[in-house]
Every structure is written in C-alpha cells, then in structure tokens.
Amino acid sequence: MPKALLREVAMDCISDMAQHLPTDCELFVIACRPGKADYDLVLPSPEANLNNVLDALRRPGLSIDGANIYKEAVCDLAIGAMAMGKQNNNPPPEGHWGERFWDIGRAEGQQRDDLVAALEHLVTVTTPDANGQIGAKEEHLAALENARAMIRLHRA
C-alpha cells in the first residue's frame, strides 16, 4: 500500500477510533520502517501532545540507553555547548535549552583560567631577576597562598 493511501486510510479511521476512547485520551497512529524514512507516518489526533506519546512509550520500557539519532543529536549539542562555553565563544541564544550546558563549560573554563593566572603569578614572583633576587617576601607569600587556595578549590 503506498504511503499516501495509508495516510488517507489512517486519517479516516482516527476519528472513528477516538470516539471509543475516554475524552481525556490522546490518539496517535504511527507507522515506520526501521532504518528507512520512506514510510514514516505520525498522525496525532488534533488535541494530542507528542510529549505524552513519549511518556507512554517510556512506561513499558523505552529507555534513554537505546541508540537513536535524535538522542545522539541532543548529546552532541550538549557536548558542543560545553566545549564552546569552556572556550568562552559562540554562546547559544538567551533562553535556549543549550544555554545551561554552555554555562557549565564556561564555569569550567573560568576555573582553568583562574588556576593558570594563579600559577603564572606564582612563577613570576618566584623567578629570580637578573641579580638573582626573588620578589618581595610578602608578594611571594601572597602568591603561594593564592596558589594553595586554587588547589583546594580544584580538589573540592
């Protein structure tokens, strides 16, 4: 049966089927050919919500552990947003769901930047100058304390 004919038959049947359901039920007719998109058909009744069908599929065992391209794309976006955030570039639009992943990456990048800055400062104040002298004792001790604080922060 051609896909167009199946769609037409399903559309005719959907209202008949819906009449036999409680009024708060949502009806979906779904046809697919695994591995191919040529026969994909998703027909919701007018009041149906796709999130509800996902919940209904999860109840009998649909899991986030199985492989599918949608899930892989979501994970790729989250990983990419964290990487962009760590580099502090290409933030998502304000309010986009990927923004929280970008923020996680940015926080990690900021911690790295703070740690590198503390180490650079410590190296600067403890490196002997041309006369073999090390910077002022107070500055040296402050840089050491800052480095210790950064180490404690990163171990927490």
pLDDT(134) > 80: no
Strand ranges (DSSP E) for 1-35? Answer: 28-33
What does each C-alpha distance from 137 to 54, 123, 145 come to in angstroms?
A: 64, 14, 12
> Which has the higher per-residue pLDDT, 88 or 56?
88
Cα of first residue to Cα of last residue in the chain, in angstroms, is 62
Can you tell me the mean pLDDT for 102-129? Answer: 89
Q: What is the per-residue pLDDT across 30-72, written as a single tens digit (0 to 9) for each?
A: 888 888 878 788 888 777 888 888 888 888 777 777 777 888 8
As given in the structure block, the two tokens for residue 60 are 């009998």
> What does the mean pLDDT of the chain come to?
85
Global confidence as pTM: 0.60
Question: What pLDDT sits at residue 1?
Answer: 65
Question: What pLDDT sits at residue 68?
Answer: 77
Can you tell me the mean pLDDT for 101-124? Answer: 91
Can you tell me the mean pLDDT for 97-115? Answer: 94
Can you tell me the mean pLDDT for 105-118? Answer: 92
As given in the structure block, the two tokens for residue 143 are 């840089």
As given in the structure block, the two tokens for residue 86 are 């760590």
The pLDDT confidence band at residue 75, using thresholds 50, 70 and 90, is very high
Q: CA-to-CA distance for 46 and 26, rounded, in angstroms?
A: 9
| Strand, helix or coil for residue 27 | coil
